[in-house]
Amino acid sequence: MWYKEAIGYQVYPKSFNDTTGSGIGDLRGIIEKLDYLVYLGVDLLWLGPIYKSPMDDNGYDVSDFYDIDPLYGSLDDFKDLMKEAKKRGIRITMDLVLNHTSDEHPWFIESRKSKDNPYRDYYIWQKPRFVDGVEVEPTNWASFFGGSCWEKDGDEYYMKIFSKKMPDLNWECEAMREDLYKMVEFWCDLGVDGFRVDAVSHLEKAPFEDSDFGGSETYKPDWKKFSNLPKMYTYLEELKRRLPENMFTVGELGGGPSIEDVLRSVAYDNKRLDMIFTFDHNWANDGFDSFKDEFINVVDVKKLKNDFGKFQVGLYEKSWHALYWLNHDHPRVMSQYGNVDYHKESGKLLATILYFMWGTPFLYNGEEIGMTNGDFEEITDFRDVATVKNYENLLKEHPKNHVMTFLKTTSRDNARTPMQWTSGDNAGFTTGTPWIKVNENHTWLNVEDQMKDPNSILQYYKKLFEVRKEYKETILYGEFEFLEDETFSYIRTGDTKILVINNLSSDEKVFKHEFTVKKILLSNYNVDKSNEYTLRPYESIVLEVE
List active site positions. Answer: 198, 252
CB of 393 to ligand GLC, least distance (A): 17
**Residue 26 interacting with ligand GLC (CB under 6 A):** no
CB of 371 to ligand GLC, least distance (A): 18
DSSP letters, 180-249, are HHHHHHHHHHHT--EEEEETGGGSS---S------SS-SSB--GGGGSS-HHHHHHHHHHHHHS-TT-EE
CB of 177 to ligand GLC, least distance (A): 18
Task: Give CA–CA dist 405/401, Å, rounded.
Answer: 6
- CA-closest candidate to residue 419, choices 393, 438, 398: 438
Positive or negative: CA dihedral 54, 55, 59, 61 = negative
Map residue 117 onto helix, strand or coil.
coil
Which residue's CB is nearer to ligand GLC, number 274 or number 345? 274
Out of 56, 57, 222, 274, the only residue in the binding site for ligand GLC (CB under 6 A) is 57
**Residue 367 interacting with ligand GLC (CB under 6 A):** no
Query: 107-136 mask for ligand GLC (x: CB under 6 A)?
Result: ------------------------------
The phi, psi pair for 540, rounded to 5°, reads -140, 125
Cα 393 to the center of its chain, rounded Å:
25
**Residue 476 interacting with ligand GLC (CB under 6 A):** no
Which residue's CB is nearer to ligand GLC, number 327 or number 372? 327
Out of 329, 375, 479, 486, the only residue in the binding site for ligand GLC (CB under 6 A) is 329
Which residue's CB is nearer to ligand GLC, number 59 or number 537? 59
Residues 153-172 that bind ligand GLC (CB under 6 A): 162
**Residue 50 interacting with ligand GLC (CB under 6 A):** no
**Residue 97 interacting with ligand GLC (CB under 6 A):** yes
Task: Give CA–CA dist 307/370, Å, rounded.
Answer: 22
CB of 363 to ligand GLC, least distance (A): 16
- Distances, alpha carbon 521 to alpha carbons 312, 468, 528, in Å: 22, 10, 11
Out of 9, 12, 60, 337, the only residue in the binding site for ligand GLC (CB under 6 A) is 60
CB of 46 to ligand GLC, least distance (A): 11
- Tell me the three-class secondary structure of 335-348, residue by residue: HHCCCHHHHHHHHH
Positive or negative: CA dihedral 256, 259, 264, 265 = positive
**Secondary structure element (H or E) that encloses residue 459, with its range:** helix 457-470
Task: Give CA–CA dist 357/190, Å, rounded.
Answer: 34
**Residue 222 interacting with ligand GLC (CB under 6 A):** no
Which residue's CB is nearer to ligand GLC, number 32 or number 329? 329
Which residue's CB is nearer to ligand GLC, number 162 or number 421? 162
Burial class (CB in 10 A: 0-12, 13-18, 19+), 114: exposed
**Residue 16 interacting with ligand GLC (CB under 6 A):** no
Which residue's CB is nearer to ligand GLC, number 255 or number 494? 255
Q: How many CB atoms lie within 10 A of CB 108?
A: 23
Map residue 456 onto helix, strand or coil.
coil
Task: Give CA–CA dist 407/409, Å, rounded.
Answer: 5
Task: Give CA–CA dist 157/506, Å, rounded.
Answer: 52
**Residue 199 interacting with ligand GLC (CB under 6 A):** yes
**Residue 480 interacting with ligand GLC (CB under 6 A):** no
How many binding residues for ligand GLC (CB under 6 A)? 9
Residues 238-267 that bind ligand GLC (CB under 6 A): 252
Task: Give CA–CA dist 87/191, Å, rounded.
Answer: 13
CB of 145 to ligand GLC, least distance (A): 8
Cβ contacts of 429-432, under 8 Å, gap ≥ 24:
429/15, 429/16, 429/17, 429/18, 429/25, 430/18, 430/21, 430/22, 430/23, 430/24, 431/18, 431/21, 432/18, 432/20, 432/21, 432/22, 432/23
Which residue's CB is nearer to ligand GLC, number 169 or number 354? 169
CB of 362 to ligand GLC, least distance (A): 12
Residue facing ligand GLC at closest CB distance: 60
**Residue 388 interacting with ligand GLC (CB under 6 A):** no
CB of 139 to ligand GLC, least distance (A): 20
Task: Give CA–CA dist 460/354, Å, rounded.
Answer: 13
CB of 60 to ligand GLC, least distance (A): 3
Query: 493-532 mask for ligand GLC (x: CB under 6 A)?
Result: ----------------------------------------
**Residue 176 interacting with ligand GLC (CB under 6 A):** no
Interface with ligand GLC (CB under 6 A): 57, 60, 97, 162, 198-199, 252, 328-329
